Amino acid sequence: MTLPATIYARFSNAEQALGNSKARQLILCRDMIARRGWQGSAARELVDEGLSAYTGKNRSEHGLLFAFEQEAEAGLYRNGHVLVVENLDRISRQGYDAILPFLQKLTSQGVTVATVDGDRVYPAYERVSMTSVIEAVVKSELSREESEKKSKRLRAAHNRKVEVAQSTAGQHISYTSTVPAWLDTKRITKAADRPAYKMTLNLNRVAILREIFQLTIDGHGTPSIAKILNARGEPVWNHLGQKSNNGWTVGYLTKLVLNRAVMGEYNPMNQPRSGPMTSKGVVVLNHYPQAIDPVTFAKAHAARQARKSTSGSWKKTHDNLFSGIAKCGVCDGRMKLETTVKKGALRRYSKTPHLKYVAKQSFSYLKCHNALNRVHDEERGIPRCTNRNWVRYEKLEKAVVELVSGWLAQNQLGAPTADISDVEVQVAEARRYLEDKQAQAANAAVSFVRTNSATMERLMLELEAEAAEQSKEIASLEAHLMSLRSSSPSPDFLALIDHQQTSVFSDDAETRNAARVAMKQTLNSLIKSMECDTERNMHIVIGANALRLSYNQEGELIGKEHGQGTTFLGPNGEIDWHPDFPEAEYQIHQSAL
């Protein structure tokens, strides 16, 4: 009877995937199957990619070999089967105490194990001979020792790389030409010496990188940024001679915006033979030339966080400035923008009867998504929300944009003056260096406690003194920054606010969309809450000083407060005015006089 055969191949890391490891193993195993007269099949070729036999990951539930073992234990191969591998270290590199039980388990369940190396066969239902045991032990131990030595060499080499980076911080020297895509390298050593490269900024790419960060801060998501760059034909960056044929992609742009190397940081990672990389817990500041300052980096991350609740439709149309902000006061669900277009029949102008027109007008409303779509609450067995009230969108938008623009002019929030921006960057840089000094001091303290080394004690005290001086510098910079921020708004800042306010309603689509993206970002940062109640009123809390505003369904301001208590204003400034009693006698607010 011809026995069916399964091939098992494995390699440990992504680099081997680029080589011929997989193809070599499959070819050798197929040749052995043909020589032995077994029955091969492409459906029975199992390949574990990127799973280490040194850590045993290939025999865990993540590996295909694990599934094969489970099937063997379940008795699926008791009528005869063959498992073919290139050599035993493809199964395990954990030593003989791992490989021998594996062989005994499979052979006892009807599986013959065959290795191309040595043309060795371990027959099913037969006791593994002493010769085979010795051979398996020797090969397994050699494989384990080889893997252990290789692992130690790689760890030592990587640790030396980190030590060199720490000792050359600020010099922007790399001992490999593989650097971030916005950097250029120039060899500074002779051909006979160890390669060393000077890293410099590629000014063209850095300009694009800064544009990407600024677009992120302005409110654009990575899909929008990719569309902008691809639409103007911006060349995709080549890396290691490889060029993407997909243009600028969301994935690549996301990696750029999240990469702390843009600030010059080198974050060494542990690189296991399988599994995800993890941080070494070491940060080398100023290793790379800085392309993005830490303030810009932080603002871009804050902008990304603020957009997480924004719906996809906003990113396409930019219609609803309150997307992700406005909530239902009953169920806390999102308020959805609904647009109704009312069309009329052909009509004549009263003054000029011979002229005709078509009556047409659009009305937009904010409505609770849960109530509008009758979303059901499965736990309670009732509709999630019954608040089917609405607020007129256009009037509310205009009122809130005017209010926020005035609030910004009065409070000078984020005034983009050159002096303030420069000091903000200095403060952020000083804080980064303080955190680094504190981390180094903490590590030195741990080493001193463990070894009682006088050198570690001296290093710890030096680092603590440097951290104290850095703290004093930060306090001085923050005092200066506070002084700058408390000054009157600059004319340029006021002009910028006015331009943003008018551009939101511009007839030019490009100008309008850019302004609405920026205004959306501003609203995200200023509005703390925005809720629609059951009376069709929208209540908004703005800024850290908790300015509370209330608008009716027509977008008219009916209430304003600072702190405790709410004052509702009527259309003519009536205090505590109520729409059900418009003719009652009310006290007139001083602002309306």
In angstroms, the CA 289 to CA 304 distance is 25
Instruction: Answer yes or no: pTM beyond 0.85.
Output: no
DSSP 239: B
Residues 260-291: pLDDT tens digits?
899 888 887 766 555 566 666 677 888 899 99
Cβ(54)–Cβ(10) below 8 Å: no
Q: What is the pLDDT of residue 81?
A: 94
Structure confidence at residue 224 (pLDDT):
85
Task: Give the total residue count for the chain.
Answer: 593
Distances (CA, A) of 295 to 2, 91, 345, 358, 436: 70, 51, 57, 53, 17
pLDDT, position 405: 74
HSE-CB for 144 with a 13 A CA cutoff: 15
Question: Which pairs from 490-499 meet CB under 8 Å and 24+ separation?
Answer: 490/415, 490/417, 492/416, 492/417, 493/409, 493/412, 493/415, 493/416, 493/417, 494/409, 496/416, 497/405, 497/408, 497/409, 498/405
The CB density around residue 467, as the number of other CB atoms within 10 Å, is: 18
Task: Express each pLDDT in 230-266 by its tens digit.
Answer: 888 888 887 655 666 678 888 889 889 989 899 888 8
Going from the N-terminus, what domains does the chain have, and what CATH number goes with each? 5-150 (3.40.50.1390), 201-306 (3.90.1750.20), 320-394+525-562 (no CATH), 418-488 (1.20.58)
> What pLDDT score does 593 carry?
44
Q: Where are the beta strands (DSSP E) in 467-516?
A: none
- Which among 14, 16, 13 has a CA at the least distance from the CA of 24? 16
The amino acid at 56: G
Which parts of the chain have pLDDT scores under 50? 14-19, 314, 349, 357, 413-416, 565-566, 590-593
Per-residue confidence (pLDDT) for residue 7, from 0 to 100? 92
CA distance 237 to 222: 16
**Closest C-alpha to 428, from 584, 296, 586, 582:** 296
Write the CA distances from 331 to 306, 327, 369, 385, 388, integer angstroms: 21, 8, 10, 6, 11
Q: What is the pLDDT of residue 64?
A: 86
Q: Based on the number of CB atoms within 10 Å of its own CB, is 576 exposed (0-12), middle (13-18) or buried (19 or more)? A: middle
